[in-house]
Amino acid sequence: MSFGVFIARRLAALVATLFATSFIVYGAVYLAPGSPLDAVTGGRPLPPATLRAISHEYGFDKPFLVRYWDWLTGVLHGDFGRSIVFRQQVSQLIEPRIGTTVFLVVYSAVLILLVGVALGVVSALRKGHTDTVILGATAVGTSTPSFVAAIVLISIFTLQLGWLPALGTGSGFSDELKHMTMPAVALALSGVAYVARLTRAAANDELRREHVDTARGRGIPERLVIRRHVLRNALIPITTVAGLTIASLIAGTVVVENAFALNGLGSYLVEAVGQKDIPVVQAICLILVAAFIVVNTIVDILYAVIDPRIEIGGSSS
């Protein structure tokens, strides 16, 4: 199978998965207790004629599959419907918040990739006290939830030291970077620890292989041995775990954005659920799940790019 056909199949699978996801997201909201009509009326008793008019306005009088198809075609054109609470287009409400969530996820992903891989490599190469300290720190990191990390970071760096602001997103890139540092660290902490431990295990496994001993015996400099023969061969498991960890950050933003009062999609999702604003909940859930699926598809494609020994869609050469 050629690389182009491989990409085409992955993209086709991505589209099919997104289609199935959209149906689940749309239908799951209607399986929740209460009816969509109650969410619009606030549960107030209204005359039957008024209820029929509201049902017709929001399309609740149509069959479920018809409502879903109308919603899906609107989504494909960038129309997520109208907010029940604010009577505005959902796209207008969520658009200003997307940048905050993207900034937070990207910042956290960079921390995971740089710090996590670096700690794992150092732990694998420097046995003894350094390895023990890193293993202990990563054990604590993997068991620390993001909301606990947020509380600890605010207590130390805001209340005690006064170095970093705890609330808001700031204005301008440098100020925004300062405001988003603690949220990004809180979100990435467990991911950094997990990737570091996986990188250590993968690097240790490669260091024990015969081709590494052969390379050293031929007098190849140690840094080249580590880069070409250890890290390159360890990239597949590292990429797998790092990709899944970064994808999981998308769901973690819900907790972190609320802890640091960030005006992102995660905090707005919690607000919309509390207000029973169904169109907003559907739109944000679809965006978050779609982002998760896209990241996993990218990781899938990266396998063939990182390691040419992997035969695309066929047997190993």
Does residue 46 have a pLDDT over 80? no
Task: Annotate 110-176 with three-state secondary structure.
Answer: HHHHHHHHHHHHHHHHCCCHHHHHHHHHHHHHHCCCHHHHHHHHHHHHHHHCCCCCCCCCCCCHHHH
> What residues does each domain of the chain span?
3-76, 97-306
Does residue 145 have a pLDDT over 60? yes
> What Cα–Cα distance (Å) separates residue 127 from each residue in 20, 122, 227, 237, 294?
48, 9, 18, 22, 38
DSSP letter string over 288-309? HHHHHHHHHHHHHHHHHHH-TT
Confidence category of residue 40, pLDDT binned at 50, 70, 90: low
Do residues 291 and 250 touch, judged by C-beta distance below 8 A? yes
The 10s digit of each residue's pLDDT in 57-87 is: 777 777 878 888 888 888 888 888 888 777 7
Element (H, E) at 96: helix 90-111
- The residues that bridge with 89 in the sheet, in sequence order, are 82
The 10s digit of each residue's pLDDT in 214-262 is: 777 777 777 777 777 777 777 777 877 887 788 888 878 888 888 888 8
The CATH number of 97-306, from 1.10.3720.10, 3.30.70.360, 3.40.50.300, 3.40.50.720, is: 1.10.3720.10
Q: What is the pTM of this model?
A: 0.79
